[in-house]
Chains A and B, each alone.
Chain A
């Protein structure tokens, strides 16, 4: 059974700092990995999708890396801003008993202080 862990559970940084969020998963047989952002009481916004054959994806100030063999992914946020404050969720797609399955981590709650 796939398990996804995110570290740290919460992070508070001053504005302008570069930061790294970590995600690890137990079963390396994955199709892809996706990073989401969730604002309080809201739905999820997809940030980056990395296919299993890829090593990284970039979008603006965000860079996500994937090391499938070690079961790890990182989300790098450059020059953080207060608007980046949200919960960041990592989700791994792998094969379940009834088709592919998206398994979520519990998220990292990020606060960027002005």
Chain B
């Protein structure tokens, strides 16, 4: 299994500012993802972080608002830009490994970053 850490674990930010969340994995992984979990709701995929290229965003999410970096196979960042109170959520980093034969393995999640925007 993969061990994932995220920084910061929580933050309180002012409207209009930006916050960068870091995700570190203890092993090289093929796929890394960023999810958002708004209060009382389930998880929504923001984007797939691609190593060495631009992230792939889901419908409703754009690079200007959520720029993502993935410089190597163990690290990624998500920035929440020009924040508003509606961005208050838990942001979760997730990884998976493709096993031989192409079948997806268990997906693992980081502890999350709790963001409150005032």
A associates with B: yes
Give chain B's interface secondary structure class.
Answer: strand
Chain A: interface residue total (CB-CB under 8 A) = 24
The one of B45, B105, B110 that contacts A101, using a Cβ cutoff of 8 Å: B45
Q: Which residues of B are found within 8 Å of A45, using beta-carbon distances?
A: 109
Q: Report yes or no: B45 in contact with A102, Cβ–Cβ below 8 A.
A: yes
Residue of A whose beta carbon sits closest to that of B111: A43
Give chain A's interface secondary structure class.
Answer: strand
Per-residue 0/1 for A65-105: is the Cβ within 8 Å of any B Cβ (1 yes, 0 no)? 00000000000000000000000010101000011111011
Asked if A49 lies at the interface with its beta carbon under 8 angstroms from chain B, I say yes
Asked if A32 lies at the interface with its beta carbon under 8 angstroms from chain B, I say yes
Known A41-B90, A41-B114, A98-B56; judge A46-B42 contact (CB<8 A). no
Asked if A27 lies at the interface with its beta carbon under 8 angstroms from chain B, I say no
Q: Report yes or no: A46 in contact with B107, Cβ–Cβ below 8 A.
A: yes
Q: Report yes or no: B106 in contact with A106, Cβ–Cβ below 8 A.
A: no
B interface residues (Cβ-Cβ under 8 A, vs A): 1, 4, 6, 41-43, 45, 48, 56, 90, 92, 103-112, 114
Those 9 A-B pairs whose CB atoms lie nearest each other, nearest first: A44-B109, A43-B111, A43-B112, A104-B42, A106-B42, A104-B43, A43-B109, A49-B106, A46-B106
